Structure 1
Amino acid sequence: MLRYALGACLSVLVAVLFFPPDWSVGWGGESQKVAPARLLSRSDLSLYDGEKGSRGLYLAILGQVFDVHKGHKHYGPGGGYHFMAGKDSSLAFITGDFTESGLTDDVSSLSPLEVVALYDWLDFYHKEYQHVGLVVGQFYDETGQPTEALLEVEASLAEGQKLKAQSEAEKILFPPCNSEWSSSRGKRVWCSTKR
């Protein structure tokens, strides 16, 4: 058993040392070329607003760009969320402020729990739409590496996840209670016993 474990560790070490850094090994053991992230400036991204003559229909959240063309009825001209097309308006996903000042990628004002909610939106876009690149600016530098701002958001996310887990644990320990009052029956209080 020990010999098998050592052999497996040695195989991983060899793979790490000898595979080129831009290759990864898939679940089936096959090698796959990993494409470098496409980097877009803010002005490049603005060319993908879905308007007539635009290059497509993109939006960004936390600096990650998604092709939202399949949701054209929502993000295209006349759609309820068209104001998000061609830009990173991360803050608006949480605040609901769809004015020009609210359609920004500056999320420094968000609480840790709000950052958790923002990452829920990011997960939604990863599941529903094609990820096509990164925006150079607030969250990624010219080489596609995370900026200090993104590292701060990720630290806030970690704190928010701890707070959320703590809150959920407290709900299990202290189930919610309800109260009711009527003139005929008076006051009544009951608590859930479900865990």
Structure 2
Amino acid sequence: MALQLWETLKEAITAYTGLSPTTFFTVLALGLALYYAVSGLFGSSDRHSRARDYGEQTQPLPPPVQLGEVTEEELKLYDGTDPGKPLLMAIKGQIYDVSQSRMFYGPGGPYALFAGKDASRALAKMSFEEKDLTGDISGLGPFELDALQDWEYKFTSKYIKVGTIKKSSVQVEEGSSSAAQPALSTDNTQEKPSSE
């Protein structure tokens, strides 16, 4: 079978090119060698310079810095405008370091408007509107909450959590609890004399 195929190939080469099979394969080999020699002279220096340029442009990412609890105003400082700071974004009050995806979330990227913010509502609604760039998820429907949950899973699996956002409502509760303590202490002092 293989011998018949070889004989057919030799006849086809002679019929179509007018060359003997040995001459045909010699010319083919010389053509390939010449191609690799020429492309090596011109192409390799270009590839090396592109690799060198890319290496100069991209620097290794610094290790993520744990921020702890920050306000939304403090989070805005990590929107990518300062190349010396990590690029951060929050979902449901949890802050993630998205520096490794700077081409998406950094300045000029398609999702740059999410950087430095809690973008929970915008992600849930698949919205790029400024009014939706907030962590407020009240009033969202079940499909939107499911979409937000999917985003949260993606972020927890891909990025490192570096902090949380301080909620202003927590500060109000602290103020109200400190106001409630004197009332309790007053009640306790009133109860003690009546129980004696």
When normalised by structure 2's length, the TM-score is: 0.50
Q: Structure 2 stretches of 5 or more lacking a match?
A: 1-65, 172-196
Q: 1:122 and 1:141 mapped to 2: Cα distance?
A: 23
Pairing 1:65–2:95 present:
yes
2:165 maps to amino acid: V
When normalised by structure 1's length, the TM-score is: 0.50
Cross-structure match for 2:76: 46
SS in 2 for 1:47: helix
Percent of matched pairs sharing the same residue: 38
Instruction: Give CA deviations for 1:131-166 in whole Å, capped at 9, x if unaligned.
Output: 00100127x846xxxxxxxxxxxxxxxxxxxxxxxx
Instruction: Give the CA deviation at 1:68.
Output: 0.1
1:113-128 matched pairs, under 5 angstroms: 113-128=143-158
Q: 1:98 and 1:114 mapped to 2: Cα distance?
A: 15
SS in 2 for 1:51: coil
Structure index of larger Rg: 2
Instruction: Give the CA deviation at 1:54.
Output: 6.0
Q: Structure 1 stretches of 5 or more lacking a match?
A: 1-35, 143-195
* Contact 1:48/1:54 (8 A) holds in 2: no
CA distance change for structure 1 residues 55 and 37 in 2, over 3 Å: closer, same or farther? closer
Q: 1:62 and 1:114 mapped to 2: Cα distance?
A: 13
Runs (4+) of structure 1 moved beyond 6 Å?
none
Q: 2:142 and 2:97 mapped to 1: Cα distance?
A: 28
1:67-146 matched pairs, under 5 angstroms: 67-137=97-167, 141=170
How many residues are aligned here? 106
